[in-house]
């Protein structure tokens, strides 16, 4: 297993025999925050917040969800990943902590809170995806809805195969011999330069490392899309943990309507829609502010 560029890795064996690969950074004596990465991404996305966590007095923890990198895969679902998060906290001797989920990791942050509300002090969702088939209007040529419909109808294997085929088309350019710059150029091929202005020289290296690890297989990407694209196995109305929701007004990937949907269903949620900000700006451009809000 290739070591991270900063912080420390750890491989855990869960009680059911699954492997979970974890990362720890920031201040080892600080207030713990469990980070759920976006899609497709893994634990090393948290390395982008290492310096902010260190300066903020935050112990930052993360792990590869099922199917990402060396973490064992698992059938689709949100709730089990929330329970996995608690197992990770146990392994690091963390009794209580805040939880942060970014983009595709947002639903898993909520799942962690629901897994044991006595252990989670606050939840942050930054540009977190909601059940998008309920929120977004259908568009011509939408290939995802038919696959999600197959999964809802019981043909999960067929839906997985469909998403895996699309992933191979979307990420087939990724190969071991690419430079970091080439990995980033492939990952952000359709993203305007101004939308990733927060990606400095240090974070570029870390993002490339995360991409290589997370997309070693497509299992995690496929599982994520089915987990939050089909009916959620979460009862958001039971979640009494304070939730901070941050969305960018200019986000074309996960628009603020997702934050509105979540706010209207969470008992204790505060929604902030930030003018002029896009998808990554709401967290990666101000990691320290987000961590401070969750641990203050």
pLDDT of 259 reads 98
Confidence of residue 245 (pLDDT cuts 50, 70, 90): very high
Q: Give 135-138 contacts, CB < 8 A, sequence gap 24+.
A: 135/257, 135/258, 135/261, 136/255, 136/257
Class of domain 8-295: alpha beta
Rounded Cα distance between 86 and 61, Å, is: 12
Rounded Cα distance between 136 and 91, Å, is: 39
Joined tokens for residue 228: 């939050």
pLDDT of 1 reads 58
Length of the chain: 296
H or E element that contains 98: strand 97-102
User: What does the mean pLDDT of the chain come to?
Assistant: 96
Confidence of residue 65 (pLDDT cuts 50, 70, 90): very high
Confidence of residue 3 (pLDDT cuts 50, 70, 90): low
Question: Across-strand partners of 25?
Answer: 60
**3-state percent breakdown (helix, strand, coil) of the chain, nearest 5:** 45, 15, 40
pLDDT of 4 reads 74
Confidence of residue 33 (pLDDT cuts 50, 70, 90): very high
pLDDT of 47 reads 98
Integer-rounded Cα Rg, in Å, for the chain is: 18
Q: Is 251 exposed, middle or buried (0-12, 13-18, 19+ CB in 10 A)?
A: buried
Q: Is the dihedral of CA 239, 244, 249, 253 positive or negative?
A: negative
- Report in angstroms the alpha-carbon separations of 232 from 84, 145, 154: 17, 15, 15
pLDDT of 143 reads 95
Confidence of residue 15 (pLDDT cuts 50, 70, 90): confident
Write out pLDDT tens, residues 251-261.
999 999 999 99
pLDDT of 194 reads 87
pLDDT at 146 over 90: yes
Q: Residue 283: CB partners within 8 Å, gap ≥ 6? A: 100, 102, 126, 127, 246, 290
Write out pLDDT tens, residues 96-136.
999 999 999 999 999 999 999 999 999 999 999 999 999 99
User: For the chain, where are the E strands, in sequence order?
Assistant: 8-13, 19-26, 31-36, 58-63, 97-102, 120-126, 243-248, 269-274
Domain spans in the chain, listed from the N-terminal domain onward: 8-295
Rounded Cα distance between 161 and 79, Å, is: 23
């Amino acid at each position: 297993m290739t070591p991270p560029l900063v912080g420390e890795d750890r491989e855990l064996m869960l009680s059911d025999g699954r492997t979970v690969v974890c990362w720890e950074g920031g201040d080892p004596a600080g207030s713990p925050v469990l980070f759920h990465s976006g899609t497709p991404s893994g634990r090393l996305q948290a390395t982008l917040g290492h310096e902010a966590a260190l300066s903020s007095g935050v112990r930052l923890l993360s792990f590869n969800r099922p199917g990402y990198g060396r973490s064992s895969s698992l059938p689709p679902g949100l709730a089990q990943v929330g329970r996995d998060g608690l197992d990770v906290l146990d392994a690091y001797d963390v009794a209580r902590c805040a939880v942060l989920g970014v983009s595709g990791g947002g639903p898993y942050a909520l799942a962690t809170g629901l897994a044991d509300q006595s252990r989670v002090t606050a939840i942050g969702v930054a540009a977190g995806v909601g059940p998008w088939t309920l929120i977004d209007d259908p568009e011509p040529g939408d290939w995802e809805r038919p696959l999600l419909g197959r999964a809802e109808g019981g043909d999960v294997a067929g839906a997985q195969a469909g998403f895996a085929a699309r992933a191979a088309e979307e990420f087939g350019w990724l190969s071991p011999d690419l430079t970091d710059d080439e990995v980033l150029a492939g990952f952000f091929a359709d993203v305007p330069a101004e939308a990733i202005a927060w990606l400095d020289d240090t974070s570029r290296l870390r993002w490339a490392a995360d991409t290589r690890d997370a997309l070693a297989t497509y299992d995690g990407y496929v599982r994520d899309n089915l987990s939050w694209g089909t009916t959620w196995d979460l009862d958001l109305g039971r979640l009494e943990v304070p939730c901070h929701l941050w969305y960018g007004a200019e986000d074309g990937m996960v628009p603020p309507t997702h934050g509105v949907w979540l706010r209207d269903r969470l008992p204790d949620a505060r929604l902030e829609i930030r003018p002029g900000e896009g998808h990554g700006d709401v967290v990666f451009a101000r990691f320290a502010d987000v961590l401070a809000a969750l641990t203050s």
